[in-house]
């Protein structure tokens, strides 16, 4: 049952539901939203749509508010969206919904099987908290729909490496099993919870490492599991997994900037949202203030859904959110073959993954500086016509405040998505292709100067903080690579421009004998020169060495596995690699 803790929460919850009220379309009995130009699974783009999941959430919010007419509208919503589920067991899409009313499952680019988990979780909480407000008919329809979703979840059997869906599916099947007396659902959920517990506790981290998005999604589902499931052993496992998630958040929280220090293996935004900061405040019973201006919340940017989850941060982590950050290094193998390195000090942070593709959900190199009111992020990206290109392969070696990186290219990867939008024949069509060091946030405080042919100095006028960037090696076939500074509202880019044309051109990565960009960056308090990088090439492998950091990287694009097998990293002469 949702419990609002104070007047602030009551005010914000009301604002959130009013925002949904404004988007209700009585003609179709669903809410509407804008579908942007870039998205996954759906073929719909740049248009107004009626979302299934959002309409379930609105029905739940109406029942939580329970004002005049809210129960009637909630029934209207549920009667509309429940039947959109595929209930034919013979079909691959059995138990799931499409994203939008305007697009059937057959019309989607690729259906999203996660919708069984997400929507069933909402329906279960509607049944558990509001059964007395529902008609007998809608209660039966909800139970029937939840049953279909559970059978789809069991059939799919997501593995524990897919953390948030693994947790959510365990929660749904456990809760449905207990609520509806379905022993097979419950036993499956319990086995799945044990499996994901063993997997994540053995690694000491979730696979979606340090994700500002998915760590909180996991925490919300674990909080619901702890509150809703009667089985004591299941609650114990969930409590320990929740502690693991809070430990990750606490260790990476940087009070001076109000951000979660990088790297982020999966993220949607570069800066921590006020809604996420509010979730941390709430989990700490408002003993710490992280949101600087509660008036920044409005009907357009706040849904209030986090108030349904009873988040609780363990007391032992409180100092991480209230005290200045002492200098520390986090060096962690968080999954087989995956290394994350984070450096934090009082005024800034810098973190990196030792290798990853340049998907827009990866924050492979990520730094923060500035203030909690006006933070600035720095992030390295590969852009195809202005959008993140997934087939860049970035490898990085880091020592505290300095990184040395090389970006090559895969011939068998994705374009905008790692598996939903694959590049065909290693060839893309583009007007623009570039590598960008992106500064985002309060960039009006920055001065950027080109210091020589391949180097830049960025200064924060509010402090003595300096960022130095250089590109000691830039080769991309026969195309000349030039450096430039780009500016737009809230962003500054230091770009290595590979292609900039008014006409569409083809880039065949398999035909390139040499396509590799080497760059280095450091953040310092007070200006300090970057070590000079030494570049050598031998038999198709390029070696870059800068101070105590060194790497080798293949110069020719190839299949991802082949590129990775030829990458080697060293720091202080020792191999820089995951422990597993």
Q: What is the pLDDT of residues 477-528, one digit of tens each?
A: 999 999 999 999 999 999 999 999 999 999 999 999 999 999 999 999 999 9
Q: Round to whole Å and give the CA distance between 278 and 286.
A: 9
In Å, how far are 113, 129, 201, 524, 580 from 353, measured between CA atoms?
Answer: 29, 42, 21, 20, 15
- DSSP labels, 8-65: HHHHHHHHHHHHHHHTEETTTTEE-EEE-SS-SS----SEEE-BHHHHHHHHHHHHHH
HSE-CB at 286 with a 13 A cutoff on CA atoms is 8
Q: Round to whole Å and give the CA distance between 578 and 514.
A: 28
Q: What are 535's two structure tokens?
A: 């570049």
99-149 pLDDT tens trace: 999 999 999 989 999 999 999 999 999 999 999 999 999 999 999 999 999
**Spatial contact of 401 and 527, defined as CB atoms under 8 Å apart:** no
Find the DSSP H helices in 181-231: 183-203, 214-228
Q: Print the SS3 string covering 460-500.
A: ECCCCEEEEEEEEEEEECCECCEEEEEEECCEEEEEEEEEE
What are the start and end residues of each CATH 1.50.10.10 domain in the chain? 7-321
Nearest to 29 by CA among 1, 62, 65: 62
Q: What are 482's two structure tokens?
A: 């030039």
Residue ranges of the chain with pLDDT lower than 50?
Answer: none
User: What is the per-residue pLDDT for 506?
Assistant: 97
**Spatial contact of 108 and 99, defined as CB atoms under 8 Å apart:** yes
User: What is the per-residue pLDDT for 531?
Assistant: 95
Architecture of the domain defined by 7-321: Alpha/alpha barrel (1.50)
Give the CA angle between residues 332, 335, 338 to the nearest 5°: 65
Is the bond preceding 98 in cis, omega lying within 30 degrees of 0?
Answer: no
In Å, how far are 152, 330, 385, 480 from 430, measured between CA atoms?
Answer: 40, 39, 6, 16
In Å, how far are 443, 482, 507 from 436, measured between CA atoms?
Answer: 15, 12, 18
User: What is the per-residue pLDDT for 580?
Assistant: 65
Give helix 114-130 / helix 163-180 axis angle, nearest 10°: 40
Give the CA angle between residues 259, 364, 510 to the nearest 5°: 155
């Amino acid at each position: 049952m949702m419990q609002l803790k104070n007047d602030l929460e009551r005010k914000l919850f009301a604002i959130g539901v009013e925002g949904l009220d404004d988007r209700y379309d009585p003609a179709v009995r669903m809410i509407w939203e804008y579908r942007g130009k870039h998205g996954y699974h759906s073929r719909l783009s740049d248009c107004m749509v009626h979302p299934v999941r959002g309409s379930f959430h609105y029905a739940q919010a109406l029942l939580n508010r329970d004002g005049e007419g809210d129960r009637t509208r909630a029934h209207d919503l549920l009667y509309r969206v429940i039947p959109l589920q595929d209930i034919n067991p013979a079909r691959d899409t059995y138990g799931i919904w499409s994203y939008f009313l305007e697009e059937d499952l057959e019309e989607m680019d690729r259906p999203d099987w996660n919708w069984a988990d997400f929507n069933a979780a909402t329906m279960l909480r509607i049944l558990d908290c509001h059964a007395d407000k529902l008609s007998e008919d809608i209660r039966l329809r909800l139970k029937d729909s939840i049953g279909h979703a559970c059978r789809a979840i069991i059939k799919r059997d997501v593995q524990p490496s897919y953390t948030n869906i693994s947790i959510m599916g365990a929660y749904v099947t456990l809760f449905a099993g207990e609520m509806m007396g379905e022993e097979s659902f419950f036993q499956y959920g319990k086995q799945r919870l044990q499996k994901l517990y063993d997997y994540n506790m053995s690694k000491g981290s979730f696979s979606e490492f340090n994700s500002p998005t998915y760590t909180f999604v996991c925490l919300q589902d674990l909080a619901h599991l702890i509150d809703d499931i009667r089985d004591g052993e299941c609650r114990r496992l969930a409590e320990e997994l929740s502690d693991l998630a809070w430990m990750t958040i606490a260790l990476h929280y940087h009070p001076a900037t109000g951000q979660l220090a990088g790297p982020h293996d999966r993220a949607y935004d570069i800066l921590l949202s006020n809604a996420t900061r509010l979730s941390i405040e709430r989990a700490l019973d408002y003993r710490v203030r992280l949101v600087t201006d509660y008036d920044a919340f409005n009907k357009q940017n706040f849904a209030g859904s986090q108030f349904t989850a009873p988040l609780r941060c363990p007391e032992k982590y409180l100092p991480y959110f209230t005290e200045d950050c002492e200098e520390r290094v986090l060096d962690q193998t968080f999954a087989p073959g995956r290394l994350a390195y984070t450096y934090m000090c009082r005024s800034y942070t810098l973190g990196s993954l030792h290798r990853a593709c340049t998907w827009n959900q990866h924050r492979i190199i990520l730094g923060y500086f500035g203030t909690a009111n006006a933070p600035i992020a720095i992030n390295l990206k590969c852009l195809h016509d202005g959008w993140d290109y997934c087939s860049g392969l970035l490898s990085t070696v880091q020592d505290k405040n300095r990184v040395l990186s090389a970006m090559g290219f895969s011939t068998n990867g994705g374009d905008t998505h790692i598996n939903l939008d694959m590049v065909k024949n290693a060839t893309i069509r583009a007007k623009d292709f570039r590598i960008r060091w992106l500064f985002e946030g309060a960039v009006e405080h920055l001065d950027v100067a080109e210091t020589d042919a391949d180097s830049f100095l960025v200064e924060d006028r509010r402090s003595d903080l300096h960022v130095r960037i250089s590109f000691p090696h830039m080769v991309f076939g026969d195309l000349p690579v030039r450096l430039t500074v780009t500016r737009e509202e809230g962003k500054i880019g230091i770009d290595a421009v590979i292609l900039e044309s008014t006409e569409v051109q083809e880039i065949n990565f398999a035909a390139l004998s040499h396509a590799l960009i080497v760059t280095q960056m450091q953040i310092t308090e007070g200006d300090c020169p970057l070590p000079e990088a030494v570049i050598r090439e031998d038999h198709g492998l390029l070696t870059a060495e800068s101070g105590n950091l060194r790497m080798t990287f293949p110069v020719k694009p190839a299949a991802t596995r082949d590129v990775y097998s030829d990458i080697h990293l060293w720091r202080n002469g020792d191999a820089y690699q995951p422990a597993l």
